[in-house]
Amino acid sequence: MLSEADLKQLDAVFSPRSIAVVGATATADKVGFNLVDSPLTSGFQGEIYPIHPKLNELLGLKVYPSLEAVGKPIDLAIIALNQYASVDAVETCGRLGVKGVIAIAGGYKEMGEEGEKLQARLVEAARRYGIKILGPNTLGMINTHVDLCSVFYPLKLARGDVSVLSQSGGVGLSLMHTAADEGLGLSKWIGVGNRGGLEFADLLQYLAYDSHTKVIGVFMEGTEDARSFVEVARRTVKHKPVVVYKVGKSEVAQYSALTHTGTIATPHKLAMDAFRQFGILPVSSLRELVAVCKALSLSDLPKGDNVGIHTHTAGPSIVIVDELAKRGCNIPPLQEATIQKVEDVIGENPPIILKNPMDVAGLGFVAEPFGRVTEAMLEDPAIDILVAVYCLHKNWRWPSQELIRAKQKHGKPIVACYISDIAGVKEDREPLRAAGIPVYITPEEAAYGAAGLVSYAKARQRGV
């Protein structure tokens, strides 16, 4: 467990006023160049000190021949040297009082016995000087609240309140891009790498403490200290949801994890059972991870697990029912009074069986009656949360105004499923977001979001 002093030190590491890039280079296809370019691209306002023995200037910044030559306090050093030189660089950082280090290089525990010994030397050097070390074998980290990108892919992410721990750089990048497509802002993205200094449990504890984090997402291959992770997560979910995408079901995947980050993958079923027992939300894909985090970031929680579905096209609602049922949600029948209210809106002519899911067919093509049916369903005491499904059309507007008014009037969560491409929903996404309504463009993702809200609400009600 991290102490209060440790957490405050991590604040200085993840929100540094100054960073040094050890191993900066002038060649754009090298990692060292991109680690200097990244904080510039993201708009970091702190001091940046590139370190190289022969360069004088790089991307408009003064280059220093060594860490000692900087002569000023350094909060965070990003080390872009090989695995052997990185150990010496950590020693130098320790002597100079650097608070934290990101060790980018691989070639450690994931390479077998010799690599494990080298990683032990790296970690011991950091511990001896009280340095918080992220990695080795990591892509780096991002903190949008100080406009800092320290991964070697120059990016500027939208600011938000979802933070992510990722055991893979490639999966982490995929998650960043998926989140951007979904209009989901991130707070922190942290590549855990080989977890030489900071374990999953440490970083989870920090994000639980972090005031800029509301929702925590995790991509995990495995950990040798699953007990600590679950214990910290159990305490965290009392006030912040923790959503985990855990891979490593097959023997091939477990071997891949071992040679990727030196991790012995935790048995999958054991992990899933533990997650559910302690209120951690397991998901089965990257898109589900993003969808659930998005819903938890934007929406209020429902009071129960009863989901209503309102649509003008039946197919997507059937997909949603299947996905909700697999995730423990209930699709209750509607009260007769609700059916009568819907009949009052649509009339008796369309040959429709009125039920939940509520498919109003052609009468639902127009936003105004669609909104009135939405209100009728929200008035039903059997409905705790509503999924509203509508399809993009050149001549029919989205029912966003109606959904916003319905949510404000009835106070129940609404998840919008707007069948479209990304461009088709962009104009309406922001007002819906401001009203606390997440919007998705596929029925599966809408179901993931709604089920995530239900699952976390149930965990909170159990008092886990």
What region, left, alpha or beta, does residue 341 occupy, with left being phi > 0 and alpha being psi -120 to 50 degrees?
Answer: alpha
Whether residues 237 and 350 share a domain: the answer is no
The pTM of the full predicted model, rounded to 2 decimals, is 0.94
Residue 145 in any domain: the answer is: no
Whether residues 272 and 389 share a domain: the answer is no
Residues 58-93 pLDDT 10s: 999 999 999 999 999 999 999 999 999 999 999 999
Last residue of a domain, one of 106, 136, 166: 136
Whether residues 305 and 450 share a domain: the answer is yes
Tell me the residue type at 280.
Answer: I
Residues 313-364 pLDDT 10s: 999 999 999 999 999 999 999 999 999 999 999 887 666 788 999 998 877 7
Whether residues 71 and 217 share a domain: the answer is no
Whether residues 106 and 200 share a domain: the answer is no
Whether residues 368 and 260 share a domain: the answer is no
Residue 147 in any domain: the answer is: no
Whether residues 383 and 411 share a domain: the answer is yes
Residue 11: CATH number of its domain? 3.40.50.720
pLDDT for 107: 84
Residue 350: CATH number of its domain? 3.40.50.261
Which residues of the chain fall short of a pLDDT of 50?
250-262
Domain range for 63 is 1-136
Q: Which two tokens stand for residue 394?
A: 């050149």
Going from the C-alpha of 426 to that of each of 180, 272, 441, the distances in angstroms are 12, 35, 11
What is the spatial distance between Cα 377 and Cα 366, in angstroms, rounded to a whole number? 17
Tell me the residue type at 162.
Answer: V
Other beta carbons less than 10 A from residue 41's beta carbon: 16
Tell me the residue type at 351.
Answer: P
Q: Answer yes or no: are the C-beta atoms of 24 and 32 closer than 8 Å.
A: yes
Residue 152 in any domain: the answer is: no
Whether residues 294 and 169 share a domain: the answer is yes
Number of domains the chain is built from:
3
